Amino acid sequence: MNSINQLKDVINEYLLKNQYSSAVKQLNKPIDYTIAQKPKRMRPLLCFMAANLNNNDYLEALPVAAAIEYFHNFTLLHDDIMDNADLRRNKPTAFKQFGLNSAILSGDFMMINAYQYLEELPDAAQLKCFKALNYAAAKVCEGQQLDINFETTTAVSEKKYLEMIAFKTAALIAASLKMGAIVANLHQNDTENLYQFGWQLGIAFQLLDDVLDVYGDTKKFGKKLAGDIVQNKKTYLLIKALELSQPTDKAELLNWFTKSDANEAEKIEAVIKLYNKVNIEAITRQKAKDYTEAAFSYLNNISAKLSGINYIKNYANQLLNRLT
C-alpha cells in the first residue's frame, strides 16, 4: 500500500475537486476554506486501510472516504459554533471567518454532500454504507447533546463521560473502518472486529485529545489551549480530579467551574494546579492506554490471512504517539 502521505494526497485531490459544489458561491466558501486546510485525514485514511485488507483496491473506497470526511467536517463547523471557538487547525473557525449563518448553512450542505458521495457506490455496498453512516451520525448527535448537558451539571460520572466520547468521537472512527471493510466485501467477523477496534481507538484518541487541550502545545495542537476549562467542559480530567481530590481542593475545583465571572487566565492556572496535585495527566494517559490495548486486541482477532493489519497497527500507533 502507498505511504500515509501518498494516501493523503489521493484523498485531498479528490476532496478539493468539490464535485458537489453549489452554483451559489457563498455556500461553497466556508466548505472550500475548511477542506483546503488539509488536516490529518484520519478517518478516510482508516477507511482506505480497511478497504485495502487482503490487497483489495483501496481506490474503490474513495467515495466512502470523501463522505466520511465531509460529514466529519460538517460536525466541526457546527461544533465550533456551539463552543464559540476562535481557532480550528491554527486558523479562525469558519463562523468567525464567514459569519454564523453562512457556517451553519455550509455545514448543512456538507452533510448533504456526504450522502451524495455514497450515491456513487455499487448497489451491493451502498445500502450497508448508508446504514453505517446513519448510525454513526445519530450517535454523534447524541454525544454532542450529552456534552452540552454536562455543561450545566457537576454530577457527571466517569461511565457517562466515556459513553459521551464514544458517541461523539469513536462512532465515526469505527464507521470509517466498517465502511472500508464493506467496500472490500470482507467477512462479517473481520468487519465487526475492525469496527470494535475503531470504537476503542476513538475513545483512546479523545482521552488523549482532552489531555492535549490542557497540556499541549498551541502551535502543534492547532487550537487555543485550556478551552475545555474556560467552557466548563466536563472532561475525564475534571471528573477524575473531583473524585481524587481532597475535600478542600474538590470544593475549589467546583467553585471555578461554577463561577460565571472568573478571570480566564486565573481560572486556567488554578485548575491546572489542582489537576497537577492529583497527577491527572498521567492518570488520563493510563486510561487511554487501557483503551488502546483493548483496541489492538480486536485487531488480533482478525483473520490471519488478511494482509495489511500491521499497516493499520502502525498508523494507529502514529496517531496516538502524536498525542503524547
**CB-based burial label for 131 (10 Å; 0-12, 13-18, 19+):** middle
Q: Could you read off the pLDDT of 184-236 as tens digits, one per residue?
A: 999 999 999 999 999 999 999 999 999 999 998 766 655 668 988 988 889 99
Q: What is the pLDDT of residues 115-132, one digit of tens each?
A: 999 999 999 999 999 999
pLDDT value for 305: 77
Which neighbouring-strand residues pair with 92? 87
Place 151 in a pLDDT band, splitting at 50, 70 and 90.
confident
What CA–CA distance (Å, rounded) separates 142 from 162?
13
User: Cβ atoms within 10 A of the Cβ of 218, count?
Assistant: 12
Domain count for the chain, please give it: 1
Long-range contacts of 248-252 (CB under 8 A, 24+ apart): 249/274, 249/277, 249/278
Collapsed DSSP state (helix, strand, coil) of residue 87 = strand
**Structural domain that includes position 314:** 4-322
- Which of 109, 113, 129 is CA-nearest to residue 121? 129
C-alpha 262/C-alpha 260 separation (Å) is: 6
Beta-ladder partners of 88: 91
Q: Cα separation of 233 and 226, whole Å?
A: 10
d(CA 151, CA 299): 36
- Give CA–CA dist 186/54, Å, rounded: 9
Alpha-helical (H) ranges within the chain are 4-16, 25-35, 42-51, 62-83, 94-98, 100-118, 123-150, 158-165, 171-183, 188-215, 218-221, 227-230, 236-244, 247-256, 264-277, 280-299, 309-322
| Residues in CB range of 173: below 8 A, 6 or more apart | 42, 43, 46, 198, 199, 201, 202, 205
The pLDDT of residue 237: 98
Cα distance between residue 80 and residue 102, in whole Å: 13
Q: Which of 191-200, 213-222, 276-285, 286-295 has the lowest mean pLDDT?
A: 213-222
* DSSP type of residue 19: T
- Alpha-carbon separation of residue 250 from 154, 211, 283 (angstroms): 11, 19, 17
Share of the chain above pLDDT 90, in %: 81
Confidence of residue 258 (pLDDT cuts 50, 70, 90): confident
Residue type, position 253, single letter:
L
Task: Tell me what pLDDT residue 276 has.
Answer: 98
Give me the phi and psi of 92, to 5 degrees please: -55, 140
Phi, psi for residue 117 in degrees, rounded to 5: -65, -40
CATH number at residue 185: 1.10.600.10
